[in-house]
Amino acid sequence: MRSRILRDIRARNAVAENELVRQAYRYITRNESISARTRHQAQLALNALPKQSSPVFIKNRCLETGRARGVIRDFRLYRFQFRLKALNGELPGVKKASW
């Protein structure tokens, strides 16, 4: 397996692990009915979370090749890999258009 794919898997796992904590801190920081001191502490705790646990760091990559460009989101495949798998009938519900 390519190192880029492994890095992507690790990043996705980190985001999934910290998702609830991150959402809670973001809710607290944006809720203006809570005191400013508490909101500030929540913002500091949010900043202390690992950088890789932010959803911004996830990049769509092909599961087969690890390529980051031309990835079809629904299938998580690079366009050429998608074409090969579609022509071989390996993707359910996908067939070549003809008119």
- Number of domains forming the structure of the chain: 2
Task: Identify the domain containing residue 36 by its residue range.
Answer: 1-59
Statement to judge: residues 6 and 39 lie in one domain: yes
Statement to judge: residues 1 and 33 lie in one domain: yes
Segment 9-22, tens digit of pLDDT: 889 999 999 999 99
Task: Write the CATH number for 33.
Answer: 1.10.287.1480
What does the H/E/C string look like for the chain? CCHHHHHHHHHHHHHHHHHHHHHHHHHHHHCCCCCHHHHHHHHHHHHHCCHHHCHHHCCCCCCCCCCCCCEECCCCEEHHHHHHHHHCCCCCCCCCCCC
Q: What pLDDT is recorded for position 3?
A: 85
Average pLDDT over residues 30-44: 94
Statement to judge: residues 54 and 79 lie in one domain: no
Neighbours of 59 (CB within 10 A): 11
Segment 61-97, tens digit of pLDDT: 998 888 999 999 999 999 999 999 999 999 998 888 8
Statement to judge: residues 9 and 37 lie in one domain: yes
Q: What pLDDT is recorded for position 1?
A: 63
CA pair distance 24, 38, nearest whole angstrom: 13
Statement to judge: residues 45 and 65 lie in one domain: no
Statement to judge: residues 78 and 47 lie in one domain: no
Average pLDDT over residues 21-44: 94
